Amino acid sequence: MARSSSGRLPRWFIANFAAFFAAIALLLGGLPASAAPTEDAAKLGAPSSLAAPASAPRATLEIPSVPADWTTKEAEGIRFRVVPGAEVRLEPALERLSDDIAELRATFGDTKPLLKGLEVRIVREPEDIALYAPKEAPPPKYASGVAYPGLHLVIVALKAPRTFEAVNVPEVLRHELIHVALHDAVSSESRVPRWFDEGVAVHLSGERRQAREETLYRAASIGKLIPLQDLERNFPEDGLEVDAAYAESADFIRFLLRPQDRARFTDLIARIEAGTPFSRALSDAYASDLRRLEFEWKKDVDARKGSAFQQAMATGSLLWGIGIIALALAWWKMRKRAKTIHEKWEREEEREATMEAMREALLRAAAEPALADGEPVPAVLPTPVPRVRHEGEWHTLH
pLDDT at 366: 72
The pLDDT value recorded for residue 11 is: 45
**CATH code of the domain containing 265:** 1.10.390.10
Whole-number pLDDT of residue 189: 66
Q: Does residue 325 sit within a domain? A: no
**377 is a domain residue:** no
Task: Give pLDDT, residue 12.
Answer: 43
The residue range of the domain holding 284 is 58-315
* CA distance linking residue 79 with residue 100, whole number of Å: 16
In a domain, 332, yes or no: no
Q: Is residue 129 part of a domain?
A: yes
Asked whether the beta carbons of 207 and 175 are under 8 A apart, the reply is: yes
CA nearest neighbour of 141 among 119, 120, 125, 122: 125
Whether 42 maps to a domain, the answer reads no
Q: Is there a domain that residue 155 lies in?
A: yes
Amino acid found at 214: E
Sign of the four-CA dihedral 193, 195, 196, 201: positive
pLDDT value at position 20?
Answer: 44
Q: What pLDDT is recorded for position 56?
A: 47
Q: With contact defined as beta carbons under 8 Å apart, do 191 and 278 qualify?
A: yes
As a whole number of angstroms, the longest Cα–Cα distance in the chain is 138
Could you give the CA distance from residue 90 to residue 78 in angstroms, rounded to a whole number?
13
Distance CA 351, CA 282 (A): 92
305, 144 Cβ separation under 8 angstroms: no
pLDDT at 109: 92
Instruction: Say what the pLDDT of residue 397 is.
Output: 60
C-alpha distances in Å from residue 313, one per residue of 189, 216, 318, 326: 43, 18, 8, 20
CA angle 213, 217, 220 (to 5 degrees): 140
- What pLDDT does residue 300 have? 94
d(CA 173, CA 144): 10
Three-state DSSP class for 385?
coil
Radius of gyration of the chain from its Cα atoms, rounded to whole angstroms:
39
**CA 106 remoteness from chain centre:** 31
Contacts of 153 (CB under 8 A, 6+ apart): 63, 118, 119, 121, 133, 147
How confident is the prediction along the chain (398 residues), in pLDDT tens digits per residue? 333 334 444 444 444 444 444 434 433 333 222 223 333 443 343 444 444 443 345 556 889 999 999 999 999 999 999 999 999 999 999 999 999 999 999 999 988 899 999 999 999 999 999 999 999 999 988 789 999 999 999 999 999 988 889 999 999 999 999 999 999 999 876 789 999 999 999 999 998 888 899 999 999 998 889 999 999 999 987 766 888 899 999 999 999 999 999 999 999 999 999 999 999 999 999 999 999 999 999 999 999 886 544 444 444 455 556 767 877 777 677 777 777 887 777 787 777 778 777 877 777 777 665 555 555 555 544 445 566 666 666 666 65
398 in any annotated domain: no
Residue of 167, 175, 164 lying closest to 120 (CA atoms): 175
Does some domain include residue 174?
yes
Q: What total number of domains does the chain contain?
A: 1
Q: Are 213 and 299 in contact (CB under 8 A)?
A: no
Q: Crossing angle, helix 290-367 and helix 278-286, to 10 degrees? A: 90
